[in-house]
């Protein structure tokens, strides 16, 4: 391309760039660019407002979910409520979701000694891979129906069956109870004759941290390793956070989580033993992942736990492991479990691709 033409093209691109406003595509769930009318007569604030309104309207499902979460879950987390009150509120919320995911069967065969566990199997689909999934909920609460629906859709996308482990919760059962349940559930899969290279550990939020902790424990015990791990917005660091971390910077922007009572929650998990905060099974960001299988992280760009994923992935790579981080624009914590969001379906498809990549 001649220099003058190149300059012209660059100039055009720059001019166009100044006119465009990023919006989210409601149909595909991916950020698109809307090249709005520049309307030079409009002042800056009016143009920004118009762009904001357009952006909200284009991705109305995410906007609505964020609004709902901001008005309910986040407010509940900010208020001084007991664990019992939180569990009651979650039970009420859970009634909105079906107990059994569509086109899946739920069975309770192969019980675990210390906790509940279920098999979620898509009807009429091959359970070629096995997903060992740990639910989220800050280690103190859980959303069973929501998690069942999530793993049901994951299984359908990935031709998998899921072992959903309802590990013991704090404060009644502090660490290592839940961790032991997770590792024991993996051992059970091996004992059932399931090939380890068809197994993926997965978890949402605190369940993601538990999955990574279990991965380290499995490696440390010298057991055959799973094919990989998929963690969704995992909690990987229970230590104090720095002022420049996402826990501080995204505190206001996160639509779901508020860490105002984070200190109490983490104390519950370790049973008041502060020395455990840096234990790799509690805070997997401190683990050594040499020899560990690949890990996929999915996290929203506005989440307070964004750095948990970034730092854990850095740590995995630094210690010889393989990790990939997907940072999703503006997605709320646990969006994969919200079936009405277009981005949830996409995230699940990408997880299924990851599973196919590592267990063809």
Binding site for other proteins (CB under 8 A): 9, 12-13, 16-18, 20-22, 25, 27-28, 30-35, 44-45, 47-49, 51-52, 55, 66-67, 70-72, 74-75, 78-79, 125-126, 128, 157, 159, 252-253, 255, 301, 310, 313, 317, 323-331, 346, 349-350, 352-354, 356-358, 360
112-173-209 Cα angle (round to 5): 80
Nearest-Å Rg of the Cα atoms of the chain is: 22
Cβ count near 187 (within 10 Å): 14
* CA–CA distance, 255 with 262 (Å, rounded to integer): 16
- Residue 199 main-chain phi, psi, to 5 deg: -100, 140
* b/e 121-133 (16+ beta carbons within 10 angstroms → b): bbeebebebbbbb
Least Å from the CB of residue 273 to other proteins: 33
Comparing CB distances to other proteins, the nearer of 3 and 126 is 126
Comparing CB distances to other proteins, the nearer of 86 and 218 is 86
Of 189, 131, 141, 197, nearest to 164 by C-alpha is 131
Least Å from the CB of residue 29 to other proteins: 9
Residue 224 is classified by DSSP as P
Least Å from the CB of residue 25 to other proteins: 8
Comparing CB distances to other proteins, the nearer of 122 and 144 is 122
Cβ count near 53 (within 10 Å): 10
- 3-class secondary-structure state, position 102: coil
Bridge partner list, 104: 122
Comparing CB distances to other proteins, the nearer of 282 and 331 is 331
Least Å from the CB of residue 185 to other proteins: 24
Comparing CB distances to other proteins, the nearer of 13 and 192 is 13
Q: Would you name the residues annotated as active-site residues? A: 205, 303, 333
Least Å from the CB of residue 70 to other proteins: 5
């Amino acid at each position: 391309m001649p220099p003058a033409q190149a300059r012209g093209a660059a100039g055009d691109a720059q001019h166009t760039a100044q006119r465009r406003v990023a919006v989210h595509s409601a149909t595909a769930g991916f950020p698109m660019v809307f090249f709005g009318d520049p309307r030079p007569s409009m002042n800056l604030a009016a143009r920004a407002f118009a762009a904001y309104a357009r952006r909200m309207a284009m991705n109305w499902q995410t906007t609505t979910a964020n609004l709902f979460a901001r008005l309910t879950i986040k407010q509940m987390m900010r208020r001084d409520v007991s664990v019992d009150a939180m569990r009651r509120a979650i039970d009420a919320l859970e009634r909105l979701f079906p107990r059994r995911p569509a086109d899946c069967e739920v069975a309770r065969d192969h019980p675990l000694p210390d906790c509940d566990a279920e098999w979620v199997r898509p009807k009429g689909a091959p359970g070629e891979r096995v997903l060992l999934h740990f639910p989220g909920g800050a280690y103190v609460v859980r959303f069973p129906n929501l998690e069942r629906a999530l793993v049901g859709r994951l299984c359908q996308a990935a031709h998998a069956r899921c072992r959903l482990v309802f590990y013991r919760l704090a404060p009644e059962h502090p660490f290592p109870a839940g961790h032991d349940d997770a590792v024991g559930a993996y051992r059970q899969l091996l004992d059932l004759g399931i090939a380890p290279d068809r197994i993926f550990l997965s978890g949402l939020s605190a369940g993601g941290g538990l999955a990574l902790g279990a991965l380290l424990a499995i490696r440390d015990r010298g057991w055959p390793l799973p094919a990989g791990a998929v963690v969704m917005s995992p909690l990987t660091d229970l230590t104090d956070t720095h002022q420049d971390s996402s826990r501080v910077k995204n505190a206001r922007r996160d639509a779901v989580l508020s860490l105002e009572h984070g200190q109490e929650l983490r104390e519950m998990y370790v049973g008041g033993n502060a020395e455990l905060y840096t234990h790799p099974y509690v805070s997997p960001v401190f683990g050594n992942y040499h020899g560990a299988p690949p890990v996929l992280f999915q996290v929203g760009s506005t989440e307070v736990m964004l750095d948990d994923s970034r730092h854990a992935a850095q740590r995995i790579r630094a210690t010889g492991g393989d990790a990939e981080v997907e940072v999703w624009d503006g997605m709320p914590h646990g969006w994969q479990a919200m079936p009405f969001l277009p981005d949830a379906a996409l995230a699940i498809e990408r997880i299924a691709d990851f599973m196919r990549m590592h267990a063809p």
